[in-house]
Structure 1
């Protein structure tokens, strides 16, 4: 393996290293894109050539199984030296941005630097080839595929005429903009129609969905151009208006939906339709909403209400899942040879027979799909009947740029704990408060000037017009050109007094303030960072849950405020923060490794 090209990385490279490191998971683990490979199981000391495959999360389980089968294959036996293959999880979009940055792979364990890359779609390999060089991505070749669909709770899909009546993206958009929402089809109790989509900058599903919207708006089934995308802006803007929030993975949304259905709700107060890959829907219906690696002896419990796949009438794009040996200079000759052998193996019939067990459709048409691809698990193997082709790279770039402009606007209040424990060191020369400040600062450029952002801090012994225990650094308002000013205000927190932790009181004050100003058509959210348990509140956790949970009952609210807590450091009260996230339809983020607070902040902000 070659030595690192640069002894020091640029700030941009360090930021990208942080993002990718956050996305990496344990080599033999699947699930969501959230933990690092540093200190993970890694490779065994087996004397073999070690091959890491950087892959999107939904394929980790399958590639692990393919790696085991490879050991007994003719392709492996033809090698002069044995080879051991391990998948590492990194989102397609993050890997794309890192590969185009021209730096070394962001992992302290160089054995995990990838020889092979398997993003969810050749969309990403095309972008790297265009932005960096074709030689870097080698010769990508698809080995499996899965269509992008809308997963809907079965009763909801049935209310729209599924499975007998075709449902189009236009039909979903009409529900989005109809003021009666589900009441327009006689289901008033379900409230507004809500869609979940992922961020197209990091997610293949999110990117495919915005392209499908442009196809739908133009009435085309092929030949999509940049001009077509630009002409579809108004259509896409309306469609984005009923998005609940943008996530970095569908697994997070599916886990929240699963928990709601298991607790007696049909999930309608949270989401009506989820843009996702068919394979993720199959995992959900088996009781694995986050597509994690199922451990020996683990029992999966299917959801009480399954999702069914709505294949849009106008057609679906497919995630075509290529695999390729990278042209990176850290790859040795032996690794290249072994990587090429594994890439050839996954195309064989023996390998293709493994794919359906993991919810992927084989390219080898002689391989049967099996019992998983049936109505029992919410899918139709005869669908989609219309395949939408992947547009040219320039068209894809136009779509991503357009999404930045038409995505749903956000109104976000960041509530930051500045209690005494925030002075504790986090091991990299910074205090916890330093990390929190820098994490918040690093995400400011994610927001548009029209997005609203506010920052409050909380501890005992301070007060403001908003109440006891609250210091207002910035009221929630359009960011405009105030990014530099807000950056400076965050720095001022370093000199603030730090006392107790009135966590529940502060959340309630912030939630009430956000609820009063929340508007339909915006993502209304709170980011709550806390490193400890509540010590000084007058309101109890149960009372807080009762107060903030009112709008999440059946039918929901047309302008809900969702809370996204960050459990910062090992002392954070994750149980309480999880309850707060759950009752508002938000998501808990784990920053128990406090050194990674910058990374966690970036992941949180991807939701808005």
Structure 2
């Protein structure tokens, strides 16, 4: 009997060995060691997630860059959150948004948030002042007037041929005679001006800043005292009579100008990149729609900064810096041209041989490479008081 017992025991041992080896191979596959990507076990747990809170004007460019970044950096997951610059600033201040990286449309909003944040010194500075994590531009675009050409010619004549100006617009808007007050046609009616709500949208804030600086004939040095002058406040109230509705989205004006023509807007104040995206669609519908650069403009420089809040871990900071390096890399900066932005990298030329380059393709519509002098962005307290003045004096009177 003993030989039979030994045979049975040997058989059971062999079967057990087979089951053991099979289970080991199956477990290895489930653990990811043989995954198609070749990643090591636990690699999924090593992915670092960061959030990128950004102004929606650059949505298409950001989404395109994020898609290619994810393919090249599978160990970093970028969660995109698009929000208007002023709304985003307030959300960070209130603690409703805690992004790893923030990129508003321009430095005026960033400075205002930094000033507001500093009212509680115990929190420490929100941004670094130097190094890779400090605010640096991603792409840039100036503020422009988009005007129907026949209206623009009247405005230019009223401004002694010096271009479209805020003062010429004010003269036409303030008069109860409308366009005829500056030589326009009677059937054009009242001047219809479009810009966004400056308390909700960055382009509206920039429009307010530029109009104020033109009123004072200043390129820099705007003060809180300037904003308290009753004559200036009355001038601003008269100018804003031309805006029938303060939208929250800059893109709304361009879309409505193309869709409804001068019956909706004669003049819109928008970002150059938005004008580029829509200007060709308007031709042949309601006349010629063209871009005009004010004598003094402002850059939307789209600064991006890694926040120094206590919610950002060292790993997230490192991942965020990698993401910002990618956005500032030459290939990604060159792709910004296709979306109507001027690259922040000065080494990337605006004029290229590409037939689709908007800075050459749309020159006949007023798009130009060289821009007028650029105003200096005031400090945070001045910007905050400008918005307060507008809410108290202008908005409250409507």
TM-score scaled by structure 2? 0.76
CA distance in 2, matches of 1:358, 1:369: 12
Q: Deviations over 1:496-515 (max 9, x none)?
A: xxxxxxxxxxxxxxxxxxxx
Contact 2:142-2:272 within 8 A present in 1 as well: yes
129-138 or 115-124, which deviates more: 129-138
Counting only pairs closer than 5 Å after superposition, residues 242-257 of structure 1 correspond to structure 2 as 242-257=242-257
CA distance in 2, matches of 1:137, 1:302: 48
Q: Is the 8 A contact 2:151 2:184 kept in 1?
A: no
Spell out the pairing of 1:295-374 with structure 2 (5 A cutoff): 305=287, 307-313=289-295, 315-370=296-351, 371-373=357-359, 374=362
Kindly indicate whether residue 47 of structure 2 is the aligned counterpart of residue 53 of structure 1. Answer: no
CA distance in 1, matches of 2:61, 2:290: 22
Is this contact kept in 2: 1:128–1:137, CA < 8 A?
A: no
- The yes-or-no answer on 1:100 pairing with 2:93 is yes
CA deviation after TM superposition for structure 1 residue 148, in Å:
1.2
Matches within 5 A, 1:187-336: 187-231=185-229, 232-260=232-260, 267-287=261-281, 305=287, 307-313=289-295, 315-336=296-317
Displacement of 1:71 in angstroms is 4.9
Offset, 1:391: 0.6
Q: Does 1:125 align with 2:83?
A: no
8 Å CA contact retained: 1:67, 1:86:
no
1:130 and 1:194 map into 2 onto residues whose CA distance is 35
* Structure with the higher fraction of residues in helix conformation: 2
For the residues of structure 2 that align with 1:404 and 1:144, how far apart are their CA atoms? 30
Q: Deviations over 1:254-280 (max 9, x none)?
A: 3333221xxxxxx22221111111111
* Relative contact order, higher structure (CA 8 A, sep 6+): 2
Unmatched segments (≥5 aa) in structure 2 = 1-43, 119-123, 129-133, 352-356
Q: Residue 286 of structure 1: CA displacement?
A: 4.9
**Where does residue 382 of structure 1 map in the other structure?**
370
SS at match of 1:406: helix
Deviations 1:138-179 (A, max 9, x none): 421112211112211233223434997422211111111233
Query: Partner residue of 1:20?
Result: none
Rg comparison, structure with higher value = 2
What displacement does 1:346 show?
2.2
Find the partner of 1:149 among 144, 148, 170.
Answer: 144
- 1:305, CA displacement in angstroms? 4.5
Whether the aligned pair in 2 keeps the contact of 1:96 and 1:125 (CA below 8 Å) is yes
Tell me how far apart the structure 1 counterparts of residues 274 and 207 of structure 2 sit (CA, whole Å). Answer: 15
Cross-structure match for 2:37: none
- Residue 365 of structure 1 deviates from its aligned partner by 2.5
Q: Could you say what secondary structure the match of 1:353 adopts?
A: helix
Asked if 1:136 corresponds to 2:126, the answer is yes
Single out whichever of 134-143 and 217-226 deviates more from structure 2: 134-143
1:100/1:152 Cα in 2 relative to 1: closer, same or farther (>3 Å)?
Answer: same
Deviations 1:476-533 (A, max 9, x none): xxxxxxxxxxxxxxxxxxxxxxxxxxxxxxxxxxxxxxxxxxxxxx5xxxxxxxxxxx
SS at match of 1:221: coil
> CA shift at 1:188, angstroms?
1.5
TM-score (norm 1): 0.51
Match of 1:394 among 378, 381, 386: 381
Unaligned runs of at least 5 residues, structure 1: 1-44, 106-112, 261-266, 290-300, 409-447, 451-521, 523-608
The alpha carbon displacement at 1:46 in A equals 9.9
How many residue pairs match? The answer is 333
Residues 70 and 78 in structure 2, CA contact (< 8 A), matched pair in contact too: no
Q: Secondary structure at the match of 2:322?
A: helix
Local SS of the residue matching 1:222: coil
